[in-house]
Structure 1
Amino acid sequence: GSGKAAEIAETAARLKAEVVVFEDDLSPSQQRNLETLLNVKTIDRTQLILDIFASRARMAEGKVQVELAQLQYLLPRLAGKGVELSRLGGGVGTRGPGEQKLETDRRRIRARIARLTSELKELKNRRHAGLERKKEMNLPVVALVGYTHAGKSTLFNALTDARVEVRHRLFSTLDTITRLIRLPHNQQALLVDTVGFIRDLPHHLVESFKATLEETIHADLLLHVADASRPDLAGVEAAVRSVLESLGVETRDVLKVFSKADLVAGHPRPGLYVSAKTGEGLKALREALALKLSGERRTRLVFVPRGRLGLVPLFYKEGEVLGRRDRDGGAELTVSLSDRAFETLCRRLS
C-alpha cells in the first residue's frame, strides 16, 4: 500500500539509492506509479536479469536473444508519447539494447522485434547445421546444466583442459561453448557448457533462450552440476528441474555431480563429489560419464574382412583390442567395446 511505498521512499532517500529493485514482477502501471512515488529509478527482477544478461552476452546469438527479450519486456511499458528509451544506457536498471537512441514509436519497436526474430531464426538454422556436423562426428553430447554460479565453467575447464572464462559472478556463461572430452577406454564425447539457471526464470526469457539451450534439449546426457556448499541446495535443484521441464527436456538421462567438494566437510548427501580446484573426484566422474554414455563394455570376437581392413584402427580407437589374429586375408580381433561403439563399427563393416 501507500504506507509501505512511503517507507521504501524514505529508505531509498536515506541510502541515496539510484535504483530500487522489486523481487516480484511489476506490471507497467505498477512500475510507473512506484517510480513516481519513490522518485527514483524502479525496476523489477526480470529487468535486473535482463540487465545482467546484456552485460554478459558476447556472441551474436546471445546478443540478439538479449535484445529481443528486452524489447518484448519494454514494449508494454512505453507509456504515452515522447518517452525516450535512450535513457537506457549504462548501469543497473538502465542497460538497454545498444547505446543508440531507440524510437519510442510502438510500430518501429515491433518492426525491430520482427527483424530480431528473423535474425534469431537464421542463427538457429546455422546452429542446426552445426548440430548436424556434430552428429556426423558420431560422438555423444554431454550438456552441463545447473544453477547459476554452481561451478559449471570451472568443471568444464578441468574436464576439457579448455580456458573458458571463469568469474565469480552470476551468468558469467551466456553463450554455449563446446569442447572435446576424453574419457576412459578410448571413449570421447562433446561437452557443452550452458547458461546457468535461476528460480522462476521468466517465461519470455525461456522462450528467447531456447535456441541457445537447444543443445541441452538434444544432448545424449545431462551432467547436472550442483554446488555442494549451498545451504539451499534442495530449492536450487528444484529450480533446475523446473527450467528443464519448461524447455521440454527429458530428465531421464541425467548424471548429478556435486561440485566444490573442497568447501564441505565430508559428503553430506549421497552422490558423486568433485573439486575442480583439488582434482578430487574428477577421475571417478570420467568413469561415470563413460559408463553412462556407453553402458557396460563387453569382450567380443570380430572378423574384419580384407576389403575393410582400413577400419581396424577404429577398433583400437573406440575400444581396447585384447588380441589379433590375421587369417583369410582379414583380421580377427578380440576387442572390449561398449554396445554403442560395437553397433557403430558393425554398421561400418556391413
Structure 2
Amino acid sequence: MPETRVDRMDETTPDPVDRVLARADAHSGVRVFGAAQALQDAGTAAGGDTDGEQWDREERAALRRVPGLSTELEDVTEVEYRQLRLENVVLVGVHLQGATEDAENSLRELAALAETAGAVVLDGMLQRRPHPDPATYVGRGKAQELRDVVAALGADTVIADTELAPSQRRALEDVVKVKVIDRTTVILDIFSQHAKSREGKAQVELAQLEYLLPRLRGWGDSMSRQAGGQVGAGGAGMGSRGPGETKIELDRRRIRTRMAQLRRQIKEFGPAREAKRAERKRNTVPSVAIAGYTNAGKSSLLNRLTSAGVLVENALFATLDATVRRSQASDGRVYTLTDTVGFVRNLPHQLVEAFRSTLEEVADADVILHVVDASHPDPAAQLATVRDVIGDVGGRDIPEIVVFNKADLIDDDARLLLRGLEPRALFVSSRTGAGIDELRAAVEAALPLPAAEVTALVPYDRGDLISAAHETGIILEQAHEEGGTFLHARVGAHLAAQLAPYLVSR
C-alpha cells in the first residue's frame, strides 16, 4: 500500500512537533507539511497580567520528567532517587484515499499529545489503505518496516493514531518488539497526570479501568489458578480439585469491584454540585459555560474576563476540573462563567462517560461560549468535534456564541475564511485583550431575562430585597419615597414571590 513517511529532522528545527512533521518523504509525492499548530510557539504562548496567580503551574512543572536520565539502578539503595527518562516514540497512522490532509492534522495532534504526556517524538509514518488491517492495523509488511524504523531510531514505544483492538495491539507488539499503545492510552495518561481534585482523579481512574478491562492478558500457566484431575493426566492431584479461578478472571473481578466503588464515589459528589446549581437557579443567577477544543484558550479567556487565576499552560488538557467564577454585567446582574474540560477528536467514550458529571455544567448552562483556536489548521473539525460532544450530553439546544480565540496569530485572509465558516462569530485574543469588550457585550445580550416584571413599594427595613433585585434582576426604575423604595424591575420567580406582599399598581 502507498505510504507516507515523515522523516526525523535535525535538532535545529525550533518546534519539536514541527521537527517530526516538517516534511514528507521525497518519493511519496505528498505536499510539504506545514506547522503543527497543536501547541503554540513559545513566543505567543506566554501568559499575561490577566492570568492571576498561577501557583499550580509551578507545582505541575516540578513534576515533569527529565530527559537523559538512566532508569537503571546501580544499587538497590538508590530506588527512591531514580528518575524516569523521557520515552522515545514513533507515531503511525492509517488513512483513506483523499483524506491525507486530515490524517496529517491528526498525526500532528497525536505528536502534541505525546509531548504533553512526557515523550519525545522521533518519527511518524502515514499509510494509505482502504481500511486498517484487522490483524496488525498497518499490515504485516508495513509492520516489519515499522520495526526497522523503531530499531534504527532506538524508540521505546509505538503510538497508533486510533484506538487499537486488543488483538491488533498484541500482534503489532509481536512484530515491532517494543511497547505499542494507542491514542486513547495517551489521552488517559495525560488525564491521570493533570487530575487534581478528588472527583477528577476518580473520574480518570474509572475511565482507565474501563479501558483496561477488555485488554487484560495473561502469560501461560503461571497466570492460572485452575487445578484438578489426576496427577498423571496433567492435574495437580489431591487437595487441588475444584472449579478454581484463573488469575485473569480474578483481576477482572477486582477491576469490576473497583469500578463499582468509583461510580458510587463519583455519584456521591453529585449532591454538592446539584445543591450549588440549584442555589444559583433559585436566585436566578444565569450561567455561561466555556466549552471548546483542548488548548483553544478557554482558561486564558476566563482569566481575561474575570481574573480568575485558573491554571494556564501551553499543553493539551491542562484543565480537567470545572472552575466556576462570578462576573457582573454592565446592568448590575450577576452571572457565572464555568471553565470546562477540553475536547479532542476521537475523544475516548470512556472519558465522556466518566466526565459526564463535569460535562453537565455545559448541559445546564444558559449560554455556551464555544471557543475555537483561530490559528488551528482545521477549525471546522474543531467545531464539529465540540458540537458532537455537546450534543451527547444534551446541550444541543442551548444558545451558542462562537468565539475565535488567538486572533492575533492570523492574517486577514484567514479571518475571511473563518468568517465564511461562522458568519456571526467573534474574534478575540485573550493574550492581547482585543475583542474582549465586544465579547462581554455579546454574552450580556445572550443572558436570559428574568421571568417576572414587578412594581413594588418596598419598606426601608427590607433593603435585602432591593439588593437582591440589583444583583439578580434588571432595574427599570427606582425611587425613594415616603413609604419605602419604589421598584420597577424584572426579577426571577423566587424573588418575585418575596416581593409579592409589596406590589403596587402604577
* Fold match (TM-score > 0.5): yes
Q: How does 1:192-211 map to 2 (within 5 A)?
A: 192-211=338-357
TM-score, length-scaled by structure 2: 0.60
Is 1:24 equivalent to 2:162 in the alignment? yes
CA distance in 1 between partners of 2:182 and 2:393 (Å): 24
Q: Which amino acid aligns with 2:298?
A: K
* Identity, % of aligned positions: 44
Counterparts in 2 of 1:282 and 1:12: CA distance versus 1, 3 Å: same
Compute the displacement of 1:344 (Å).
5.7
SS of the equivalent of 2:308 reads coil
Could you say which residue in structure 2 is the equivalent of 1:44?
182
SS of the equivalent of 1:105 reads helix
CA distance in 2 between partners of 1:301 and 1:105 (Å): 63
Compute the displacement of 1:148 (Å).
0.5
CA distance in 2 between partners of 1:316 and 1:135 (Å): 16
Could you say which residue in structure 2 is the equivalent of 1:98?
none
Counterparts in 2 of 1:348 and 1:288: CA distance versus 1, 3 Å: farther
SS of the equivalent of 1:348 reads helix
Q: Which amino acid aligns with 2:171?
A: N
CA distance in 1 between partners of 2:385 and 2:206 (Å): 24
Candidates 230, 235, 245, aligned match of 2:376? 230
Mapped contact 2:460–2:485 kept (Cα < 8 A): no
Could you say which residue in structure 1 is the equivalent of 2:459?
306
CA distance in 2 between partners of 1:313 and 1:288 (Å): 25
Could you say which residue in structure 2 is the equivalent of 1:133?
279
Q: Which amino acid aligns with 2:498?
A: R
User: What does the per-residue CA deviation read over 1:44-83, in whole Å, with 9 as the maximum and x for residues that have no partner?
Assistant: 1111111111111111111111111111111111112567
CA distance in 2 between partners of 1:218 and 1:114 (Å): 26
Q: Which has the larger radius of gyration?
A: 2
CA distance in 2 between partners of 1:305 and 1:181 (Å): 27
Could you say which residue in structure 2 is the equivalent of 1:145?
291
Unpaired runs of 5+ residues, structure 2, are 1-138, 224-247, 501-506
Mapped contact 1:180–1:190 kept (Cα < 8 A): yes
Q: How does 1:5-154 map to 2 (within 5 A)?
A: 5-80=143-218, 105-154=251-300
Compute the displacement of 1:291 (Å).
1.0
CA distance in 2 between partners of 1:309 and 1:77 (Å): 64
Counterparts in 2 of 1:308 and 1:348: CA distance versus 1, 3 Å: farther
Unpaired runs of 5+ residues, structure 1, are 84-101
CA distance in 1 between partners of 2:403 and 2:149 (Å): 43
SS of the equivalent of 1:6 reads helix
User: What does the per-residue CA deviation read over 1:196-234, in whole Å, with 9 as the maximum and x for residues that have no partner?
Assistant: 011122222211110111111111111101111122111
Counterparts in 2 of 1:313 and 1:79: CA distance versus 1, 3 Å: closer
After superposing the two structures, state which structure 1 stretch, 315-324 or 45-54, moved more.
Answer: 315-324
Counterparts in 2 of 1:156 and 1:19: CA distance versus 1, 3 Å: same
Counterparts in 2 of 1:265 and 1:7: CA distance versus 1, 3 Å: same
Mapped contact 1:308–1:349 kept (Cα < 8 A): no
Compute the displacement of 1:176 (Å).
0.6
CA distance in 1 between partners of 2:276 and 2:396 (Å): 22
User: What does the per-residue CA deviation read over 1:172-216, in whole Å, with 9 as the maximum and x for residues that have no partner?
Assistant: 001111110122111211111011011122222211110111111
Is 1:274 equivalent to 2:428 in the alignment? yes
Could you say which residue in structure 2 is the equivalent of 1:185?
331
CA distance in 2 between partners of 1:177 and 1:315 (Å): 26
Could you say which residue in structure 2 is the equivalent of 1:217?
363
RMSD value, Cα:
2.6
TM-score, length-scaled by structure 1: 0.85
CA distance in 2 between partners of 1:52 and 1:175 (Å): 13
Mapped contact 2:194–2:317 kept (Cα < 8 A): yes
Compute the displacement of 1:134 (Å).
3.1
Is 1:346 equivalent to 2:484 in the alignment? no
